Structure formats: C-alpha cells, structure tokens
Structure 1
Amino acid sequence: MTDIDLWAPLGSAGSTVVEDLLRQGFHLGSTGRIPYLHRADVQIGDVPLRLAWWQRTLAAAILDGNDQHEIARGRVAVGTGPQHLLWDYDVMPLELGGAAIQVERTTRAPDRWALDVTGPDDRTWTWHPAGRVFANRTELTRTGDRHPVVTHQLRPVPAVPRSPAGPPTLTWRADATLAEVVMPVMWTLDRVHLGLLPKTQRVARFDVAGNLL
C-alpha cells in the first residue's frame, strides 16, 4: 500500500461521501493548541485515507492496518492578493508525495474566483466553486480540459431552490490520479472554497471584511 504512485490514473471512475467530522463553529475557533483532530476517513477506490489536523496542519495518510503513511500535508494561510481587505480568502499550498503544490487565487469573472494550481512536471489545474448562481460544488479541471477531473458536491445551500440534496460527495473520472483527488478533498475540508464563492453568495453569508460564518 505504501508504494502507490500518486500520479498514476486510478483506472476507474468512482464516488464517495466525504463527511467532515467537525462542526463549522469548531473550525472557526483557535485549534493551534490541540495536537490532533480527526477530520474524515475517505475511501478512494481501493485506497483508504485518513485526514486529520496535526497542530492545525491538515495531513492525509493512507491507512495500512494499524499504520498510517502520510502522503500529503498543508496549512491554510491568509491570501494577500487584490481585494483581500474587503473579501477575505485563504489559500492552502500542499506538499504531496514530496512535491510542492502551489496555489494562487485568480479572477474568473467580476464576481467569481478560482485557484490556479501548479504541480510537478508542469502539471496545472484550476479549482473553483461551480453552480448557476450559488455554488453547490467544487471542480478541479486540468489546464486545456473542458470537463473537471474531480468534482466535490457540497452541502445543500440553505433556502436555494433546486440546490442538490444529499451528503457531500466526491466524484472522479477514471483517468484521475490519487493526487488529483486528494487535493480538492483537503481544500474543501479546510473550507478554502469559502473565499472563492460568488460575490452574491458571500454577501448572503455576511462574508465581508473578515466576517466569516
């Protein structure tokens, strides 16, 4: 289990529920003094993953019996790009299998944002919330592709008609790699997508000038 190639195609499409074990209010508190917090267990094909905070750094590890083999880690940092004084947002660069994953927020439209993602061997992606008016999912799309390689369905948006029901569900294509599935799982669990939501949705959340709900 420890010799898995993180960048090899998984070989079959799939989906799984990703249930965050922490309440939203707990996430917003100071957790730096807590040495360990279990966030979620996720089954990606044949690979069981455990995600947990270690001193506020989110780590993903492959479960192998009673052992855990870490494959990725990242820590949220406050974004410092344009508009950050009015519209707070976070970024979360990752270390994935020893490779650096760099992220930078970019504008997709006047009221929508995304993360430009850069990985090893000139791999690049875009990760962004998606939906007609209110975002109900996140999508990771390879540069040059028209369709996402990984989609993460979020919880239903309150009071929004036709908002997809059901638990948060992760879906991937057959050619997706384990690395590509792990990245959006980690960003969504640490709620990096909140800083990328459409402006209308952020206003509805009173998510302005640091007032995150």
Structure 2
Amino acid sequence: MSANGQLQATVAVNELLGALLPGAKKIVVSDAGESQVRGNHKGSKAKMIDRNLKRMVELRERDEVSLKKRQKRLKIRAIKANRASREKTEQAAKLKVLEEHRKCGNLSAKERKYLNKLAERNAKKVGAWELEEEDREELRELQQRIISQISIDRSKRGQTRRKKIKAFREEIKPGAADRRYPGLTPGLAPVGLSDEEESSDED
C-alpha cells in the first residue's frame, strides 16, 4: 500500500471513529509510513477499532440503563401523585356522602365509627395547634429573658475588655518606658557612648 493510500485510509478511519466515538484517540501516520495511535494504545488498527466499538457499546448500554432508571423513578413518582390525588378525592366524596347520611339521620354503625375516629383525629390536630398558641406567649417571655441576659453579659464583657485595654494603654505611654530604664534607648543601646569610645575599648 502506498503512503498516500495509507494516509487516506487513516483519515477515513479517524473520521469514522470521530463520528462513532467522539473523543476517541486518533491514528497518526508517521514519516516512515507507520501508523501510530495518539496516546498509550498499542496494537493494530483493527484492535483499536474493536476496542473503541466495544467501548461505544458499553457507553450505550450504560446510557440505556440510566435512562430506564430515570424513567422508572418518574413513573413511580407519577403513580404516587395519582394515588394521593385519587385518595384525596375519594375521601372528599366519602365525607360528602357521610355528611348527607348524617343530615338524613340514617348513619350506619360503621359510618358513625369512622366519623368519630375522623373527628378525634381532627380534634387532636386542632388541640395541638391551640397548645402551641397558648405556649407561644410563654415561649416569647423565655426568649426575651434569654436575649436580655445575653445582651447584659455582652455589655459586661465589653466594659471589662475596654477597661483592660485602657489600663494597658496607660501603662505603655510613650514617656513611661524612658523613665523606667534610664540610659537605654528604645533599641536598648546604651546612651552616652560614641562609636570611637567603643572601638578604643575593643583594642
């Protein structure tokens, strides 16, 4: 096969791989006429094509599985929503029928028992809400006490901190350091000695 024919075949294979598997390694033809795969893949073109086709099949299968899972989740969600709406409408219709029976005065024992149970459940819910409203005032008072205690503690802490800072600043006034250690400069060098005296002492 001539170099030109091999180059055309390589380009065709690269286009095919690019169409089937985006991001697949491309085959490069060197100057010596040998084809090389970009990357670390070793083997012939046929092996590389086979490997890429297998990878493509795996990707398709994985996509199909994830698509099926997603569809199943959506289906389950739709079924649950339908069931909930159906139960709600059934309960509303049942309550309407029971209300009509109650008005007419021909409730059966089973219907009366169901209504009593429903009334108890609703009364418990309302009772829980009422308890919350009664306790709400007590909760507000407790919150106010806690908040006031926290603010008092914060103000006390702030005052003590300000006092400490003020005392510290008074201790380190600029003139105070000079009076404590006479004869020393801020760099702790002795005052009064010149450089000539120091050099004569060293000799």
Q: Flag the structure with more relative contact order, 1 or 2, with Cα contacts below 8 A and sequence separation at least 6.
A: 1
For Structure 1 versus Structure 2, the TM-score category normalised by the shorter chain is under 0.3
The two structures have a TM-score, normalised by structure 1, of 0.13
Q: 1 or 2, which has the higher strand percentage?
A: 1
